[in-house]
């Protein structure tokens, strides 16, 4: 997905500099300063990088961001919790209404150890890092998982 | 025994170790299945592994369990070898 955004960004940047395409903004001479001014105002107007989406065609310089950072959005404990809940809700053996932060997988949600293994694997997939067996078997409720991920990612 | 995968019933040491082995095996199985290139194959294999483990969940004869562990290891090795061949 990052590559799609980067491609669009490059296309957009090139379009802004391309004199022929900039004609769409109106006017032949002084196209470049006009386009640059449009781009800087749009940059100032929209500071939120990762919520930016290129809605219109690359030729339209008004929607182009000059810079994109292809990093992921910053991890906060809330976002980790959200993602954990999202993954858990997708799991078919869990009843989404019963799901709480402190609901124990085995005692409250009625899962067994095989399910717990699957859940931890799903978390590994979601957050993109390996969880060793020793740690994995201790994760028994969403709270534990959130705490563990936060520790591993050095944000707590 | 401070691990929290402990179920309500109490196990002997051997049973406990066997249980940990089975769970570790399930984990390795899932990890290997993750590397399968085709998505449909991956789903099929995951369901297959899930069914197999769930079906024999309540086996209590230790020897039978040991046989099943060996079988699962064989399957796992087969899978790994096929993956290695597919990649090369």
Q: What is the pLDDT of residues B20-72, one digit of tens each?
A: 999 999 999 999 999 988 899 999 999 999 999 999 888 888 899 999 999 99
Chain B residue with CA closest to A140: the answer is B4
Interface A:B, Cβ pairs < 8 A = 35
Using CB atoms, pick whichever of A106, A117, A125 lies closest to residue B26.
Answer: A117
Using CB atoms, pick whichever of A106, A117, A125 lies closest to residue B23: A117
ipTM over 0.85: no
pLDDT band at A106 (very low <50, low <70, confident <90, very high): confident
A47 to chain B, any CB pair closer than 8 A? The answer is no
**Which SS3 state, helix, strand or coil, does residue A153 take?**
coil
Level-2 CATH architecture, domain A77-153: Orthogonal Bundle (1.10)
- Share the mean pLDDT of chain B: 87
The pTM for the full model equals 0.65
Alpha helices in B37-61 (DSSP H): 39-55
CB of A13 closer than 8 Å to CB of A5? no
Structure tokens at A144: 């534990």
CB within 8 Å: B23 and A137: yes
> Does the pLDDT at position A52 exceed 70?
no
Smallest CA–CA distance from B50 into chain A, residue: A114
User: Is the CB of residue A114 less than 8 Å away from at least one CB of chain B?
Assistant: yes
Distance CA B33, CA A117 (A): 14
Instruction: Record the tokens describing residue B51, joined without a space.
Output: 């069914």
Q: What is the DSSP letter of B59?
A: -
Alpha-carbon gap: B8 to the closest alpha carbon of chain A (Å) = 10
Minimum Cα–Cα distance from A125: chain B residue: B34
What's the mean pLDDT in A28-39? Answer: 44
A71 is catalytic: no
**CA B73 to mean position of chain CA atoms:** 8
Name chain B contacts of A138, Cβ cutoff 8 Å.
Answer: 3-4
B27/A140 touch (CB, cutoff 8 Å), yes or no: no
Tell me the per-residue pLDDT of A55-99, one tens digit each, with 9 for 90 and over.
Answer: 444 555 566 667 767 777 778 888 889 999 999 999 888 888 888
Instruction: Label residue B82 by pLDDT band (50, 70, 90).
Output: very high
């Amino acid at each position: 997905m990052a590559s799609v955004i980067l491609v669009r960004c490059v296309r957009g940047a090139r379009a802004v500099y391309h004199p022929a395409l900039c004609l769409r903004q109106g006017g032949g001479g002084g196209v470049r300063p006009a386009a640059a001014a449009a781009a800087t105002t749009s940059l100032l107007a929209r500071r939120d990088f990762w919520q930016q989406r290129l809605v219109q065609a690359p030729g339209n310089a008004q929607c182009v961001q000059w810079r994109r950072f292809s990093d992921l959005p910053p991890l906060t404990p809330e976002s980790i919790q959200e993602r954990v809940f999202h993954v858990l809700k997708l799991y078919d053996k869990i009843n989404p209404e019963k799901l709480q932060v402190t609901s124990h997988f085995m005692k409250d949600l009625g899962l067994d150890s095989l399910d717990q293994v699957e859940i931890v694997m799903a978390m590994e997939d979601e957050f993109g890092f390996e969880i060793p067996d020793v740690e994995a078997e201790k994760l028994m409720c969403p709270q534990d998982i959130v705490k563990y991920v936060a520790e591993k990612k050095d944000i707590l | 025994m401070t691990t929290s995968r402990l179920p309500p019933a109490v196990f002997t040491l051997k049973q406990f170790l066997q249980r940990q082995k089975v769970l570790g095996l399930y984990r390795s199985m899932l990890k290997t299945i993750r590397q399968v290139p085709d998505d449909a194959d991956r789903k099929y294999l995951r369901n297959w592994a899930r069914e197999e483990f769930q079906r024999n969940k309540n086996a209590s004869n230790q020897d039978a369990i040991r046989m099943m562990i060996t079988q699962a290891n064989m399957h796992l090795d087969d899978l790994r070898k096929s993956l290695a061949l597919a990649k090369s």
